Amino acid sequence: MILHLKTNFMITTINVFFKIYLLAVAIPVYSCNASEPKINPDLEEAKKAIAESNAIYFQAFAKGDSSIFINSYATDCCIMAPGVPALCGENAALDFFRTAYYEIGLRDGKFITTDVFGDGKEFVTEVGLWQSFDAERKMFDNGKFLVLWKKTPGGWKMFRDSFSSDHNK
């Protein structure tokens, strides 16, 4: 009988020890591995390209050089500005640049990307905020944007560019 009690005690102790081990070691290790975000190299490449494009985008207006601006867009892009029909196709970027530069007086700006999502294979979506400045570096407009980027043979380019002002005009 004493031997039976000792055996039951040892089995119970081993069971308790095993359960504590699972709770203390095995489950947290599994949980940590399960919750680690997986890095998508395709999406990271797209994010880097977007950041590089955004960093030079407004130089086109500061320098009066439409080629910098045009190079940011896919040849089959659509630029969907508020209050006007969408500009689509090969001449869309140049037409928009001319309007923004000569008629509106845009000379500088800033993009603040708040999110980039997608699989990074063919398309990704960028969400963010923008600010526009005139020749005296005075902000004359700001708002939000949504850009669908397309991977082209020439790299990541803006495919659909939609934005709106935070101000009533």
| 81-133 residue pLDDT tens | 999 999 999 999 999 999 999 999 999 999 999 999 999 999 999 999 999 99
Residue ranges per domain, the chain?
A: 1-36, 41-165
Of the pLDDT bands very low, low, confident and very high (cuts 50, 70, 90), residue 48 is very high
Q: Report strand pairing: 73-80 vs 87-88.
A: antiparallel
- Whole-model pTM: value is 0.76
Structure tokens at 48: 């880097």
Structure tokens at 38: 């997986």
Q: 41-165 maps to which CATH number? A: 3.10.450.50
157 or 3: which leads in pLDDT: 157
- The pLDDT value recorded for residue 168 is 79
